[in-house]
Structure 1
Amino acid sequence: MAQVQLADGVLNYQFEGPEHLPVLVLSNSLGTDLHMWDTQVPALTAHFRVLRYDTRGHGGSLVTQGPYSIEQLGQDVLALLDALHIEQAHFCGLSMGGLIGQWLGINAGHRLKRLIVCNTAAKIGTLETWNPRIEMVLRDQQAAMVGLRDASIERWFTPGYAAGNPEQAKRITDMLAATSPEGYAANCGAVRDADFRDQLGEIKVPLLVISGTHDAVTPPSGGRFIQENVAGAEYAEFHAAHLSNVEVGAPFSRRVIDFLLAREE
């Protein structure tokens, strides 16, 4: 693990793969850390230098007063790229990471080669979804995080996957219980306030949208909306719930690799 110094704290990251390969940034979902991508790293590092990081408020990265904004989280990515002297990179983000990817595509497309957004939407949830959760987490702190962890198995994985892969499901959901309550609530505010529905047409970089057929958090309709509103965007859908990268594994990695290595026509 390594860290870069931001103006208000440190951002935790991990850089893997041969230095001569193009850089691929991976951005985690709300309530997880950079290890949510462990399944993908062996396949991805055969083709890319993989840069994973803990989003502000998660893992080993800084926890500052919230609420955050997706713009703030996107600026953190740009600061990380600047600190590592990376002019351009591919970007793949899931859920909240997909919102960060949309912001980057809209506002900093010149820093991206290709963009992948997974299990996300241009707008996720409503005030009625997010505000009670934020209030509960700030009130009950660690007890709330444990409760969210226990409920997340049904949201993050299909019943068949959770039953057949209990250790993997526990490894991922334990990340939620370990997340800072203050950081989690601040990021919930960022997701709550993000709405890119009227800005998607500004994304000009090659885009792949990935959805999970059984994703109740960000249903395929949200992914289709993004794909339909970005010129030339591609779409893929897997038999999975919210964390499709974990649940699908190798086919997910292969689709990512094929898209990122595709030649421009």
Structure 2
Amino acid sequence: MTSQTRTAITTGDGVRIAYRFDGDETKPVLLLSNSIGTDLHMWDGQVPALTEHFRLLRYDARGHGASDVPSGPYSLDRLGRDAVELLDALGLQRVHVLGLSLGGIVAQWLGIHVPERVDRLVLSNTAAHLGPANQWDRPIAELLEAPDMQATTDMFLRNWFPADMLEERNEIVEGFRRTLLATRREGVAGSWAAVRDSDLRRTTALITSPTLVIAGEHDTVTSAAHGKEVAATIPGARLTVLPTVHLANVERPTEFLDAVVTFLREQP
């Protein structure tokens, strides 16, 4: 297996986006897109299994990890173009895409707006719309006024993991805690604005890529009902519901990987 440390591209609006490859250059490329408050390491536990079949392209979304953190609201169009510009810079014409949470919203945008770049699409623990839009204004304002990321970190972890994983001070959970605490507030607030301002409930019907939707039975962020709505709107989409909260890849990695790899390796 080949791998590399993070390097970066610069987008058309001057933002540095960090990325890395893992896996054999001869295998099909799988682009991984992250949730808010995480970096490309949110997939670390899945890298060994996924690189048996794919060359992984992971990146830190703007506002996160080693990527730049512009202030102000982000738009879904801009986040989607970041991914397209990354593919362009790396000379990748067509890839599989797996996105979770906001990463799943970005993945939907890719399937809608650049279908020629998307082979198969996996949308995990995500939604086409999380409204009403004004419910996001107060959390964004409070975060930007907060002294640090502590309260937001605690909130994210409660939303991401079941109580037993939190109570036992699971080392994987603690890794996510460290990442959240190191994340700049402007990146989270800007990303929340992208979620606030996006509504794909009608346009997801334009997705033509074979699509698998994974939902969490106990997910309180993007509920199983959100996943069912997405799967019902995308022509021919399949739905898998796992007994998880929000980060299904971390909580139930075996079931998650089985669903993803089986779908992505399926012959047309």
| TM-score interval, normalised by the smaller of the two chains | over 0.9
Gaps of at least 5 residues in structure 1 are: none
CA distance in 1, matches of 2:138, 2:8: 33
Name the counterpart of 1:45: 51
1:54 partnered with 2:55: no
1:92-241 correspondence runs (5 A)? 92-140=98-146, 142-143=147-148, 145-164=149-168, 166-241=170-245
Q: Over aligned residue pairs, what C-alpha RMSD do you find?
A: 1.2
How many residues are aligned here?
262
Instruction: Give the letter aligned to residue 21 of structure 2.
Output: F
Q: Distance in 1 between matches of 2:169 and 2:176?
A: 11
> Does 2:10 match 1:5?
yes
From 61, 64, 69, the equivalent of 1:63 is 69
What is the identity, as a one-letter code, of the residue corresponding to 1:123? H
Of residues 20-29 and 2-11 in structure 1, the stretch that sits farther from structure 2 once superposed is 2-11
Q: Compute the displacement of 1:128 (Å).
A: 4.0
Query: Is structure 2 residue 35 aligned with structure 1 residue 29?
Result: yes
CA drift at 1:164: 4.6
Secondary structure at the residue paired with 1:75?
helix
Q: 2:85 aligns with which of 60, 72, 79?
A: 79
The one-character-per-residue Cα deviations of 1:135-167 (angstroms, maximum 9, x if unpaired) are: 011112x52x21111122221011133335621
State the one-letter code of the partner of 2:59. Answer: Y
**TM-score, scaled to structure 2:** 0.95
Query: What is the identity percentage for the equivalent residue pairs of Structure 1 and Structure 2?
Result: 42
Q: Which moved more, 1:149-158 or 1:102-111?
A: 149-158
Cα distance in 1 for residues equivalent to 2:163 and 2:132: 26
CA contact 1:92–1:117 (8 Å) conserved in 2: yes
Is contact 1:23-1:50 (8 Å) kept? yes
What is the TM-score of this pair, normalised by structure 1? Answer: 0.96
Gaps of 5+ in 2: 1-5
**Alignment check: 8 A CA contact 2:15 2:62 kept:** no
State the shift of 1:5 in Å: 2.0
Distance of 1:247 and 1:120 partners within structure 2: 16
SS of the residue 1:40 aligns to: helix
